[in-house]
Amino acid sequence: MDPASAGSVAARARTENFPVASLLFPRAMRPHLRAVYGFARLVDILGDEFSADGLDGAQRSSLKGSVLAGDAGKARASSETTSTSDVVGNRLAALDELEAEVEACYEGVPTWQVMQALQPTIRACDLPREPFLRLIEANRIDQRVAEYETWDELKGYCTHSADPVGRLVLGVVGRTEPELVALSDDVCTGLQLVNFLQDVPRDLALGRVYLPAEDRRRFGVAELGQPNEPLRRLLEFEAEQARGFLGSGEELGRRLGGRVGRGVALFARGGLAALEALERADWDVFTQRPRPSRARLALAAIR
């Protein structure tokens, strides 16, 4: 299997909120949004799950294909027999290959299916390289940075991991005015913070902590691996920061207007609905990953 087949990445993307929101966009834009989202999912999967110790050629492609298809068990089994440094090296090599595929989209012919699907979007929407390269760099950062001391450091990470997605969406809709970009950056940072709150156990299993150390000390958090009152209060505090950023979604939607504005605003509303789900679960991110129901997302879409 091609390591970046469009079908495999699409199978992963179907469980997440971006495709739901994209249905509000004009039909002609949806393939471009799917192409951008496919890239964003691909780079995250390579940075979080890929492990191909000692494989190359067809074997390596087969393993990467299984990871993309959601067969995380194979990835875990491989990483159990691979040293941490080897896993990191393999992921960095895969991200280097992906960067070469990005360059091929601009200068030649890409070979990975997801990138072949992305190239027409890059050309039709005149998308710049930088947001794609920033997303790749975010996953390189993940291989060498395990935690962040301050909020400012974490925000710097978000400028690579989250904000570029919104800038690419604005590129697809043809609206890249600086004030819109600033509002989009806020929304994307807010969405990234929501993911950090939802995924504390998952990130910890990957050896990463996205709750700033200065905030953990402030709330007396000494344990991230199980529910406890200091952690609950910290998650509640961080959620208020996320809400503040997501509040820019309504203004961004208003300025864009029409179906595009409603579609973009739904991204922020989806993030707010996720925070409501966390609050209803009393900030328990261990029993299950709190997430809004499809009904709540549908209500957010028509508000």
Residue 245 to residue 187: CA distance in whole angstroms: 6
Listed in sequence order, the DSSP H helices in the chain are: 6-13, 18-22, 30-48, 57-68, 72-80, 84-107, 113-125, 130-144, 151-161, 163-173, 178-198, 200-205, 213-218, 229-246, 248-256, 258-280, 294-302
One digit per residue, pLDDT tens: the chain, 303 residues?
344 555 566 555 554 555 555 778 999 999 999 999 889 999 998 998 887 653 344 434 433 443 333 333 333 333 444 567 888 888 999 999 999 999 999 999 999 989 999 999 999 999 999 999 999 999 999 999 999 999 999 999 999 999 999 999 999 999 999 999 999 999 999 999 999 999 999 999 999 999 999 999 999 999 999 999 999 999 999 999 999 999 999 999 999 999 999 999 999 999 999 999 999 999 999 998 777 654 444 444 444
Are 156 and 175 in contact, with CB atoms under 8 Å apart?
no
Are 243 and 267 in contact, with CB atoms under 8 Å apart?
no
* Cα-only R_g, the chain: 19
Q: Which of 298, 296, 291 lies closest to 15, judged by CA? A: 291
Prediction pTM value: 0.83
